[in-house]
Structure 1
Amino acid sequence: MSLKITKTPKCYVGGAFIRSESGRVFELKDASGAFYANLPRCTKKDLRNAVEAAAKAGAGWAKRTPYNRAQILYRLAEMLEARAAEMAEALMLDGTAKAQAEKEVAATVGRIVHYAGWADKYEQVLGSVNPVASAHFNFTLTEPVGIVGVLAPEEAPLLALMTLILPMVTAGNSVVALVSRKAPYPSILLGEMLATSDLPGGVVNLLTGDRKEMLSTFATHEHLRALAAVAQGDEAVTLQRGAADSVKRVKLHDPKTDWFSEKHESPYAIRDFTEAKTVWHPVGS
């Protein structure tokens, strides 16, 4: 009789699967309270390492054509759909009903496809040709801001995480995300899919652990150029104050956000993580 080989969950950082540099873990239990797995309890050092990985991957990802980024995102949707049953089981670990878990997986697949469709179209919405009173052709283009930090909510651990990440990577940014502490296992499976989805390693980096340990570093790290966080109260204040010191933009979401809402499927979510570049080109003699 062979023994069951249990998975050792690891975080996905820089295209590799890592344990925390501290060696610390926290227990993940299923809905019945039984032990399921030990997950890495990442530290500020892990966060800084993830930012370095994102910086290395970011320039190349930003230079990819919008069409190529769309293909890669669509491939990710295919992979999630192929492993939908496994992902639904991961979502059910915290007691989520099967029907709700399947609904969340399906909604996530649809959202990835939606942003894949926007990848080569959002520029037509966010960019512009500007009339000027001189002999110039004046136009505005968007560029990614760089590395973006994400603090995901406890609820909807797959759909909310991907809803926050998708506008960023669609625009050519790289991401460092701290996933749900309550239900981190879906992000472990997501990392496996990202690793084989043609998305370059380091474009999306997923950390598990305690938010309180890393919140201030997310807020103040100077190489993070923007933050998207589900936060309120003291957490929101900490993020905003830290971001002010390091001059980064912050997009805050209410913890009661309905992540299934179609309002999250908009090119204007992409605009939150882009910068405008205006070009003056001389015309005529």
Structure 2
Amino acid sequence: MSDRSDKKKTAKAAPAPARLSVLKTYKLFVGGKFPRSESGRVYEVTDSRGGWLANAPQSSRKDARDAVVAARKAFAGWSGATAYNRGQVLYRVAEMLTGRREQFAAEVADAEGLSVEAALAAVDAAADRWVWYAGWTDKIAQIAGGANPVAGPFFNLSVPEPTGVVAVLAPQKSSLLGLVSVLAPVIAGGNTAVVVTSAAAPLPALSFAEVLATSDVPGGVVNILSGDTAELGVPLAAHQDVNAIDLTGAGGDAELATQLETAAADNLKRVLRPADEDWTADPGTGRLLTFLETKTVWHPIGV
């Protein structure tokens, strides 16, 4: 009995089998769903040191057209929702983003070459910016509209309304905070959006789509495409059902920005030209008001 007992004591546990890593498959976000690119293409995404991170879907012109269709379909419901309701939805986005703070910090650190502390600060700033715009949803009308004095027995009221479907070329270097800073004001005002991510650093934006999908944002309100900015920007700028375009992501290519602005003029799109931006600064109300139109209503007094 003693020999058997000794053998049991000296026996070693079998080594655990090696575990294969589960690599994330990044997808587009169109109409509230996560399709692969229609073309089936992908491209390699590397970190700031050139190390491979993942393959991202390379969107095609067909993907861009599908995203516009989804955005147009969602526009009536989103623009018709109360401003208070839109604010609640945007606040929920901030809640969900905060709940995945460490994941986004890791992706931002890889994308922008930041320290962990700086990346965490960037994620916190992005969440704070969503809260800031959430608070503006029911206050926009107070600064952009009002009653106008007229010489006659009429009420004359100016009311801001959303422009429609807005194509947004996200900043190339600020993968999350910059993305939030250009997207949030578009949808806070009741517009729907087709976003082209940073070409070199799309992963935080593609992961952010998962936050949107679980944050009560109706399908199609935000559509996110990754790929070549020029390849996607040209058909979006020329698309007849896109009402406005933000050219921020084309800021590093003056020739491309001019080409897109020329194409946008065909159906009189509103165009926000690229400019040097400090995404950590107070954003003000400029972007909120850029994609709003003013409707003036006359009504006889006493009727």
Same fold (TM over 0.5): yes
> 1:253, CA displacement in angstroms?
2.5
Matched with 2:13 is none
Q: Secondary structure at the match of 1:253?
A: coil
Name the CA distance, whole Å, in 2 between partners of 1:33 and 1:153: 20
> 1:204, CA displacement in angstroms?
0.4
Matched with 1:260 is 280
> 1:250, CA displacement in angstroms?
0.4
Name the CA distance, whole Å, in 2 between partners of 1:129 and 1:118: 20
* 5+ residue gaps, structure 1: none
Q: Secondary structure at the match of 1:281?
A: strand
The answer to whether residue 36 in structure 2 is matched with residue 15 in structure 1 is no
Matched with 1:227 is 245
> 1:154, CA displacement in angstroms?
1.3
Q: Which string of whole-angstrom CA distances, capped at 9 and with x for unpartnered residues, describes residues 137-167 of structure 1?
A: 1101011110000011211111111111111
> 1:31, CA displacement in angstroms?
4.0
The answer to whether residue 223 in structure 2 is matched with residue 211 in structure 1 is no
**Structure 2 counterpart of 1:127, from 124, 139, 145:** 145
> Computing the radius of gyration over CA atoms, which structure comes out larger, 1 or 2?
2
**Structure 1 counterpart of 2:100, from 59, 63, 83:** 83
Matched with 2:263 is 242
Q: Which string of whole-angstrom CA distances, capped at 9 and with x for unpartnered residues, describes residues 46-86 of structure 1?
A: 00000001011111000110000000000000111111111
Matched with 2:8 is none
Identify, as 1 or 2, the structure richer in strand. Answer: 1
The answer to whether residue 163 in structure 2 is matched with residue 142 in structure 1 is no
Matched with 1:117 is 135
Q: Contact between 1:125 and 1:267, CA under 8 Å: does it hold in 2?
A: no
TM-score, normalisation: structure 2 = 0.90
Tell me how many residue pairs correspond in the alignment: 282
The answer to whether residue 222 in structure 2 is matched with residue 197 in structure 1 is no
Matched with 2:183 is 165
TM-score, normalisation: structure 1 = 0.95
State the percentage of identical aligned residues: 44
Residue 110 of structure 1 aligns with an amino acid whose one-letter code is D
Name the CA distance, whole Å, in 2 between partners of 1:127 and 1:280: 14
> 1:182, CA displacement in angstroms?
1.3
Structure 1's consecutive aligned runs of 4 or more residues displaced over 6 angstroms after TM superposition are: none
Name the CA distance, whole Å, in 1 between partners of 2:146 and 2:287: 17
Q: Which string of whole-angstrom CA distances, capped at 9 and with x for unpartnered residues, describes residues 215-246 of structure 1?
A: 21121111110011213411221121111112
Q: Which string of whole-angstrom CA distances, capped at 9 and with x for unpartnered residues, describes residues 10-55 of structure 1?
A: 1111100111100000012234433322110001110000000101
